[in-house]
Every structure is written in C-alpha cells, then in structure tokens.
A and B are shown apart, each in its own frame.
Chain A
Amino acid sequence: MEVPLRLYKTVTVFSTLIAVFAVVFGFLLLDAAALGTGLLRQLARSVLGALSLSPADSLLSGLFAVAGLLSIAFGAAVYVLGTRFKATEMSADQE
C-alpha cells in the first residue's frame, strides 16, 4: 500500500511505538503471571479487593498469562500491519 511520505512517517513512528509498548507490557504481564509477586499483581489484587473480590491465585495467574499473550500478539499485529505501508518514493527500488 503506497502512501505519501508524511503519512508513512506517521505509520512507522506510531506503529513501532505502539508495538514496542504492547510487547514489553505483555512480558510484564507474563512476569506477573509467573512470579506470583510484584507490583502489577499486587495492584490488580488491591483493585479487585476494593471491589471485594478475591480470586484464586491460579485464576489470576491464568488471566495474567492470557492478557500477556494477547498484548504481545496485539503488538506483533500492529507492527506487521505497519510494515504493509510504504512511501511513494520507496516503490522504485523495491519489487
């Protein structure tokens, strides 16, 4: 998909940023799932506690793991979509 240069810059800069944050955040979630301690998990616990919910540890781990994998997949998808675009000036030398 060919786009104007300025739009291409928007796509590369923001898709890369979003992808990086999503993947790193996904690994943080996986970490929270595996470790059983740590800030994210305690945060989730206290938020749920405020709603007078106290889910089992294994359930919480499972949720964290799924959310982490989803976040990583989302980051990858955003990145891959971003690579589908190129600026008009770039088309001559490729393909």
Chain B
Amino acid sequence: MSLKEKDEHDHLGWMEEKQLSPIEKGYLFTLIWLDKRFRVVDYLELLETMYYRVNLQMPKSHTEQYNLDNKFWYWYPLYALGSFSTLAYVVAALSGALLGFYYTPSAALAETGTVAYSQIAMIMQDLQFGFMLRSIHRWSAQVMTAAVFLHMLRVYFTGAYKEPRELNWLLGIVLISLTMGFGYTGYLLPWDQLAYWAGQIGVEMALSIPIIGEWVAQLVFGGFSLGAPTLQRMYILHVFLLPFVVTSLIAIHIAIVWMQGIAEPH
C-alpha cells in the first residue's frame, strides 16, 4: 500500500469523447482539478482497503459462527453505551473545569443571596457563553447518568457480567454509585432552594443510618444542619475527590474490558 499513483484514470480524455452540457463540463472539470491537487479520494480508497484487510484477519465472532446476527443485531447499538458515557464524562470534565474558573463555593451573604448563588447567576447572565457552558455541563451530567444506567441494563440482559467478568461488574456498580454521587454533590453547588432542600434530605438520610449515622453526617455534610461547611465539602467532593477516584476507576474498568475483550452474548 502506498501513495504511488496507480494507473491514473484519464478523466479529461473521457470527457472529450462525451457530449456534455457546458454546466456538466465546467462542474466535472472543477472537481477533477480539485481532485488532482487535493488527493482526498486516494486517501479514502486507502482507508477502504485497510478496512477490508483488517476485517479479513478478524476471527469469526460467536454470533457470526452460529448465525445469530439475524436475532441479535438490534442489541448492537446498545454496545455503544459504555463509550457514550465515557464521552459524556469527558465533556462534563472539560466544561466543569471551565466552570471552576468562575464559581466560588461560599455560603457567605452577597448582595442577592449567597456568593455561590450569585456566581451562578453571573455565569448564566453576564459571562460570555456562560449559559451555554453551564448547560453543557448539566446536560452531559444527565446524559452520563442515563447512559451509565442503560449500559448496566445492556450488560445485565446480554449476560456480559458472567464469569470471567464478575469483578468488572462489581467495579461497574461502584462506578454507577459514584456517578450518582457526582450528580448529587454537583446538584447542591448552586446553593439555591432546590440544592438546599436536597441537602437537607441528604443530611436526614445520613442521620437515619443506625449507629454510624451521626458520624457519616458529620463527615459528608460537615454537621447535622446545612451551612458553609456543607457547601465546602460538596465542592471538594465534586471537584477534587470524585474526579480522581472516578477517572482512575473508569480507566481500570476500560482496561479490564480491553484485556478480556467484549463479551459474547449468552
């Protein structure tokens, strides 16, 4: 395979022997002129041969071998959900890093509401592209949660969790929980009414745990009622602790899939 020219098709000679209208002639001439200079078609043809050669070397999959594709093909789009949630995670990480430039996790009083809330208002109303930036962050978070959940359903219903992939399934359970933790901590950051009362529910849920409840509330929410320490902790969880933990676990999760290969349907 090389970029050495093959027997070049004589486009112009071909055009000579045809009866073409001036528009057709001009159109084809322009495109041929471009093709000779920017050899996009040659590169695409290279990709085409590479595609077929790679596929020739692949062993037959289980579904091909037993002719299951006619029953199984409708599952295939759902095999993209893992990559899709990773993509949503990357988008959320990038937009979140940009949001971090403008957000302040402070429950101190500002002119209107708290500093945290007025920063959100500033991002939404005054910052160039701020509305878009926060929307991208929010939507990618929603999409990631949904995609992760659907990914789990796909894994369950195709039996991909079975031996030898049990550990990765457990790791996936940890990851879906951490994803929801990401969502919850991020939900509290605007420190508006919605966030405040969601936080109240969180504290009470923590306190309802037998024996260690008070300790958990203290650790996660910084007290038994909401306040500046709660917001501070949610912020650190959201932008420091969870990103490191979740990114590492995603890397391990994907590495294991890479090593074990994608599961054949059971």
* A interface residues with partner B (beta carbon < 8 Å): 1, 3-4, 6-7, 9-11, 13-15, 17, 81
Contact = CB atoms under 8 A, between A and B. Distances in A.
The 3 closest A-B pairs by CB, nearest first: A10-B35, A6-B9, A14-B31
B32 interface: yes
Contacts of A14: 31, 34-35, 40
Chain B interface mostly = helix
14 contacts: A1-B24, A4-B14, A6-B41, A7-B11, A7-B14, A7-B28, A7-B32, A9-B45, A10-B32, A13-B40, A14-B34, A14-B35, A15-B31, A81-B23
Contacts of A17: 40
B27 interface: yes
Contacts of A11: 28, 31
A10 B41 contact: yes
A34 to B, nearest CB: 17
A81 B28 CA distance: 10
A10 B31 contact: yes
A4 to B, nearest CB: 6
A11 to B, nearest CB: 6
Interface string B120-147: 0000000000000000000000000000
A50 to B, nearest CB: 27
A29 B40 CA distance: 27
A42 to B, nearest CB: 14
A7 B30 CA distance: 12
